[in-house]
Structure 1
């Protein structure tokens, strides 16, 4: 695939679409290495990743579903969402917690470090697309409670989860975009 095909072929492939085939440790290492080459102002390299596999996925699923139960009012509680939290963790071959480490000297605005981390995730996403591995970035409200699950460094926080899994590619997953001409002003 050329770069244009990879970019335009990038899709969210959700955990229910994953099959049982495991994503290899070597592939995850390649993802992380590609993430490491994202743009970063003043070389703060703010991206941090925590790889969750095997029994740790079950612990994460339990933690997230319990936290959802604790923070949700009875009238807003959704048994479907509660079950989905657990099943997404089980369905993924691996889950990467996407974290951002704020520059201790605050030399650049925080939004730039968040943007750098997002670009690192885009590198991973495009790598998954090129290798026909499914992934999905989820950033639920529950990420605000992850300091009860992970041991974060000072200034580190979770920005979401990248779910990974192989999927059956029998059907093409379509996406659409509005015309770029509607979003550009030439001066």
Structure 2
């Protein structure tokens, strides 16, 4: 397995968009590793709220058709963007796989919902860092369309979609740089 310094992996983590992906397929083995690493995210009271639905092959085309049709249905003629419509379809076609990021609310509501959303986001960060360590591009998209995913997926009671995690290999010559302001501007020390 590829090992790298955790600081390097964290600083290399980037959004790599579906339009940047090449045709190389992300293996089920690697997807399983992403999901296993996601499963080790912190979770208050062990609610383990993260749920994932892996969409591959023809199911990606069905998802693209569903999302683009839903976009058409919920968008007024004056707000409709052919560019956005085509981007929805192309994102699904370009990705090697799409993981629907879902959250299962604890039925006993032992913790506030925001903690379960935060746990799910930490699970996604584990996937993202695993992708970075293995040179896989990924991107978390959370369009308004996620509110309609109950018409595509079978959800358990209290489960909802928080977004889509697009996966794909990309050519190394793609320069993905990021900037951060100094941490000193964001921290207040108290003694």
Scaled by the length of structure 2, the TM-score of the pair is 0.97
Indicate whether 1:185 and 2:168 are aligned: no
Structure 2 residue runs without a partner (length 5+): none
Query: What SS does the corresponding residue of 1:74 show, helix, strand or coil?
Result: coil
From 119, 125, 128, the counterpart of 2:128: 125
Distance 1:72 1:182 in 2: 41
Question: In the alignment, what sits opposite 2:173?
Answer: 170
Matches within 5 A, 1:12-161: 12-161=15-164
Aligned-pair distance for 1:171?
A: 3.5
Aligned-pair distance for 1:172?
A: 3.0
Aligned-pair distance for 1:170?
A: 1.2
From 1, 11, 14, the counterpart of 2:14: 11
Structure 1 residue runs without a partner (length 5+): none
Aligned-pair distance for 1:51?
A: 0.2
Matched residue count = 187
Scaled by the length of structure 1, the TM-score of the pair is 0.99
Aligned-pair distance for 1:173?
A: 1.1
Distance 1:140 1:171 in 2: 25
Distance 2:174 2:57 in 1: 28
